[in-house]
Amino acid sequence: MIHQSVNPLQLPILDVSQPLSVSSLSSLAEACKEWGFFQIINHGISKDLHRKIYTLSNKLFCLPSESKLKLGPSSLLKTYTPHFIASPFFESLRVSGPDFATSAQRSADVLLDEQNSEFSEALQDYGSKMTELSKIILKFVLMTLGDGFDTKYYDSEFKNCHGYLRINNYTPPENLEEEAEGLGMHTDMSCLTIVYQDEIGGLQVRSKDGKWMNIVPCEGTLVVNIGDMLQAWSNERLRSSEHRVVLKKVVNRFSLAFFWCFEDEKVIFSPDEVVGKENARIYKPFVCLDYLKFRESNERGKFEKVGFTVKDFAGVVEVPMFKQENGN
């Protein structure tokens, strides 16, 4: 498969420990509009915490499939996504907030005999930090839409957002020839997603004209993707990033994706001021959960697959359901 890389330098790296300067605001605005993707530094998450979560999660992923399936789709907790759902090479464990410790502990208790709170404590630490970070980033993103829009819309529209984490483990085939798709192209259903990928790399983001850009892992840097909910809420002034994971080496790859989402019952409807007088409204109002269910119920719309997106669901102009799969 051939794909071009785009110069990653044209995308901003945002220092989230500082107030936004005029120039970083304008490059952030450009990145959110054109890519739905940017990177952050000085986020306050230590390398040690990532290591710790990796080590502890790896113990769980190394358990036999029969054990892990006790948390699988037909179990009570349903926190584990086994291989062959998203892709043959992908498996994942979900930890839900705001009580990340309890969620992690419930899964660990099913899988492990010994009582140990290390995993749940690390996940609570990570989940709480990601929650605070999501709020900061969301305010920065709102600022790109208009002066003072962060204070104006944060409390009225986003204060009931909640987060959950997916711990992802990719196992490439041993006979890997060139590359394998670890996770097919998709958009996230969140408002925004914060991703940590380990040093193996493989995350790619797609430009509007269909070129794939490699997101080269860089220590201390996290990736932010704008999701479908912000795309709809902003009437497409913010783009939901199209991304995928490509496996190029015969080594396991580890990532953490933290999804910051609207509450299920939220009605998503872009405020007039966000749409702007000169622009047509391109989304009908819709209830968040209805969109999540739409994606769940469509084989092609599941988070892992290329397929229907929020535009197909709530776009004012009907998009034919038989539209060609994107990309290649």
Ligand X SMILES: O=C(O)CCC(=O)C(=O)O
Task: Give me 82's structure tokens.
Answer: 């086994």
Binding-site partner at residue 105 among ligand X, Fe ion, none, CB < 5 to 8 Å by type: none
Of the listed pieces 24-32, 108-116, 123-131, 195-203, which binds ligand X according to CB under 6 A? 195-203
Which of 196/269 has CB closer to ligand X? Answer: 196
Residue 181 or 188 with smaller CB distance to Fe ion: 188
Site for ligand X (CB under 6 A): which residue of 81, 103, 120, 168?
Answer: 168
Contact 226, 192 (CB under 8 A): yes
Residue 79: how many CA atoms within 13 Å on its side-chain side?
27
Closer to ligand X by Cβ: residue 203 or 261:
203
Q: Looking at beta carbons, which residue is closest to Fe ion?
A: 188
Among 104, 185, 195, 310, binds ligand X (CB under 6 A): 195
CB closer to ligand X, 124 vs 168 = 168
Per rule CB under 6 A, is residue 95 in the interface with ligand X? no
Q: List the single partner that 239 binds among Fe ion, ligand X, none, CB under 5 to 8 Å by kind.
A: none
Residue of 14, 133, 203, 222 interacting with ligand X (CB under 6 A): 203
Nearest residue (CB) to ligand X, 43 versus 243:
243
Under DSSP, the state recorded for 155 is: I
In angstroms, the Cα distances linking 141 to 107, 136, 212 are 34, 9, 23
| Binds 166: which of Fe ion, ligand X, none (CB < 5-8 Å by kind) | ligand X
Of 94, 206, 237, 243, the residue at the interface with ligand X (CB under 6 A) is: 243
CB atoms near residue 74 (< 10 Å): 7
Residues 172-231 that bind Fe ion (CB under 5 A): 188
Run of H or E including 272: helix 272-275
200-203's contacts with Cβ under 8 Å and 24+ in sequence apart are 200/249, 200/251, 200/252, 200/253, 200/254, 201/248, 201/253, 202/170, 202/245, 202/246, 202/247, 202/248, 202/253, 203/243, 203/244, 203/245, 203/255
In 3D space, the residue among 141, 67, 149 whose CA is nearest the CA of residue 107 turns out to be 67
From candidates 246, 257, 274, 310, binder to ligand X by CB under 6 A: 257
* Residue nearest to ligand X according to CB distances in the complex: 255
Closer by beta carbon to Fe ion, 91 or else 188: 188
Beta partners for residue 40, in sequence order: 14, 222
Query: CB-wise, 150 or 188, nearer to Fe ion?
Result: 188
Distance CA 286, CA 283 (A): 8
C-beta of residue 28 within 8 angstroms of C-beta of residue 34: no
Q: Which residues bind ligand X (CB under 6 A)?
A: 166, 168, 183, 188, 195, 197, 203, 243, 245, 255, 257
